[in-house]
Amino acid sequence: MKEFSRTDRIADQLQRELAVLIQREVKDPRLDAMITVSGVRVSKDLGYADVYVTVLGKEDRQEVIKENLAILKHAAGFLRGRIAQSIKLRVVPQLRFHFDESVQRGQKLSSLIEQAVAEDRSRHDSDED
């Protein structure tokens, strides 16, 4: 079994910390309450962390996603400072926020599969008649 690398452990810790901080500490009223941190990737030199977020229930509205990402980017310095207080690291990575499209893609694929199964069933039922 492969041990987690240091960057993986830091990424996991950042993900947990950011999930709480975004919900409790970012006070911008425009920020959607249904933001989740779906993943964090930290560079090997700890220079930056790519933070992937989803905006639940709003996946289809690009302007809402863009506004939420802009708010998070604006709050990145504040969030980084709060992380520096809670995680003992010599260097706290710069935070770069990205919209995680994998959840949206998964939902789209799931609905396409359900649609195909339903069409197949209806064809099969009409063949039996």
For the chain, which residues make up each domain, given as ranges? Answer: 6-100
Residues in the chain: 129
Q: What is the pTM of this model?
A: 0.76
Alpha carbon distance 20, 109 (integer Å)? 30
Alpha carbon distance 94, 129 (integer Å)? 64
- The dihedral built from the CA positions of residue 47, 83, 40 and 13, taken in this order, carries a sign that is positive
Q: What's the pLDDT at 58?
A: 53
Write out residues in the chain with pLDDT < 70, as ranges: 1-4, 33, 57-60, 129
Q: Indicate the fold that domain 6-100 takes in CATH.
A: GMP Synthetase; Chain A, domain 3 (3.30.300)
Q: What's the pLDDT at 33?
A: 65
The residues, ordered by sequence, that sit 6+ positions from 112 with a Cβ below 8 Å of its Cβ are none
Q: What's the pLDDT at 13?
A: 94
